[in-house]
């Protein structure tokens, strides 16, 4: 579904996971027929990873807030 006034970008987490697993397996596949099918699956998966970029969001984002960056339950023991 396309949202008016928006562009699309790639979801990086899905893209990295797809490339890390499926593209490497596709390149290493010895059978040319299976290799072509694997590449088509990778291309299909990457095309599905396009997400809309919504312009004019109303909720402000606080990027500089570092209060809970290293909370007590996330600190290292040693």
The verdict on residue 73 lying in a domain is no
Q: Which tens digit of pLDDT belongs to each residue from 11-24? A: 888 888 888 888 88
What are the tens digits of pLDDT across the range 1-14?
455 555 778 788 88
Nearest Cα neighbor of 7 from 50, 58, 61 is 50
Tell me how long the chain is: 78
Domain range enclosing 46: 1-55
Q: Is residue 66 part of a domain?
A: no
Answering whether pTM is above 0.85, one says no
Task: Say if 51 falls within a structural domain.
Answer: yes
**Quick one: what percent of the chain has pLDDT higher than 90?**
17
- Domain assignment of residue 60, yes or no: no
Number of domains in the chain: 1
The answer to the question of residue 47 being in a domain is yes
């Amino acid at each position: 579904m396309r949202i008016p006034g928006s562009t699309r970008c790639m979801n990086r987490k899905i893209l990295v996971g797809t490339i890390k697993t499926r593209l490497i397996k596709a390149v290493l596949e010895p059978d040319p027929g299976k290799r072509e099918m694997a590449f088509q699956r990778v291309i299909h998966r990457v095309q599905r990873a396009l997400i809309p970029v919504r312009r004019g969001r109303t909720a402000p984002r606080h990027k500089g807030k570092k209060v809970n960056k290293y909370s007590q339950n996330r600190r290292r023991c040693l």
